Amino acid sequence: MTTWIRESEQSWIHKFCQAVLKTGPIPKHVAFIMDGNRRFASKRSIDRAQGHLMGFDKLAETLEWCNNIGISEVTVYAFSIENFKRSKEEVDGLMELARLKFTKLMEEKELLNKHGVCIRVLGNLSLLPHDIQQIVADAMNMTKNNNRAVLNVCFAYTAREEICSAMRDIAEGVDLGLIRESDISESVMEKCLYTRKSPHPDILVRTSGEVRLSDFLLWQTTYSCLSFVRVLWPEFSIWHLYAGILQYQRNYQVIQNAIQDNKVKREMSQRQSDVECCRVELLKTEEESITQHQVNEYSMQREKRIKTFLGHVEQKREQLLSKFEERVT
């Protein structure tokens, strides 16, 4: 019995609905707040750990639905930093579940490679027990060269912690003289987030009827289509996923226009900032004009500084992972 990757036969009705949905735009990246496992457990009179286990099974099922319809990236909120405040018994239970499932995942190497799945665990991993840090590092190292599908598991994650961590990297970059304060922009910030390798989610689904984001992907969901579903996570069905995709398709053009507008505004404000900085650097006043060539030269230098800085950030992350590398075969 496999745990993460399933290869079930699809029914004709699912294939038919998929074909219909595929006539419209299919989201590339869907994020899930898998909420309601404990309420599901008490509704079914089973224990909490069993509720979380069924939550995991639902995740595996959902990954298969996403893969079948062509969604190539999925991000899930598996454990929030806030969840450490739950009872010791529950936190230990969730850690044990992670231990078990990531160990199983290592045994599914062939299937993961066959489907080209890259696993990334995002969050402040130093908050996790050392053996779990090792297992998740192994899973990431083992799948890092796969590129047909991506699964981001947010574990010991909150968006605000992610943003603080990115700010610390940026402050260090300024301190070391790799970038200047004026080089800091939304796009630099984005490249320092845990999610820097991923496009922003097209859809964010939250189950259980709660209509909050609970500190999940706050930066990345500005233009995501939000889908709040009333069922508890273990009750989530393929029809809820299809409904989310349909809602995304109905709003597609409006969302794309907003993304495009933002892109244009960003480029304009970057150009304006380059003009100002270039003027200051050349000690020119408003009256004394600077040439296009001088501004272009300044932009190139800025981009060069940013590239060096991001290389430094990447190196720091790789070093963290390579500490664990020896174990991977």
78 belongs to the binding site for Mg ion (CB under 5 A): no
User: Smallest gap, in angstroms, from Cβ of residue 208 to ligand FPP?
Assistant: 5
**Least distance to ligand FPP from the beta carbon of 33, Å?**
8
Sign of the CA dihedral with 231 first, then 237, 239, and 242 last: positive
Q: Using the rule CB under 5 A, give the single segment among 35-43, 101-109, 174-182, 183-191 that binds Mg ion.
A: 35-43
The binder of 55, among ligand FPP, Mg ion, none, by C-beta within 5 to 8 A per type, is ligand FPP
Query: How is 67-111 classified by DSSP, letter by letter?
Result: HHHT--EEEEEEEEGGGGGS-HHHHHHHHHHHHHHHHHHHHTHHH
Residues forming the site for ligand FPP (CB under 6 A): 34-39, 52, 55-56, 59, 78, 83, 97-98, 101, 153, 208
Distance CA 248, CA 245 (A): 5
| Buried residues in 31-40 as b, exposed as e (16+ CB within 10 A) | bbbbbbbbeb
CB of 35 to Mg ion, least distance (A): 4
DSSP character string of 278-324 = HHHHTT--SSS---HHHHHHHHHHHHHHHHHHHHHHHHHHHHHHHTT
Residue 130 Cβ vs ligand FPP, minimum distance, rounded to whole Å: 17
Give the C-alpha separation, 66 to 147, whole Å: 16
Instruction: Tell me whether residue 78 or residue 166 sits nearer to ligand FPP (CB atom).
Output: 78
Closest residue to ligand FPP in the complex (CB) = 55
| Closer residue to Mg ion, CB minimum distance, 120 or 206 | 206
Give the one residue of 5, 30, 33, 35 binding Mg ion; rule: CB under 5 A. 35
Binding site for Mg ion (CB under 5 A): 35
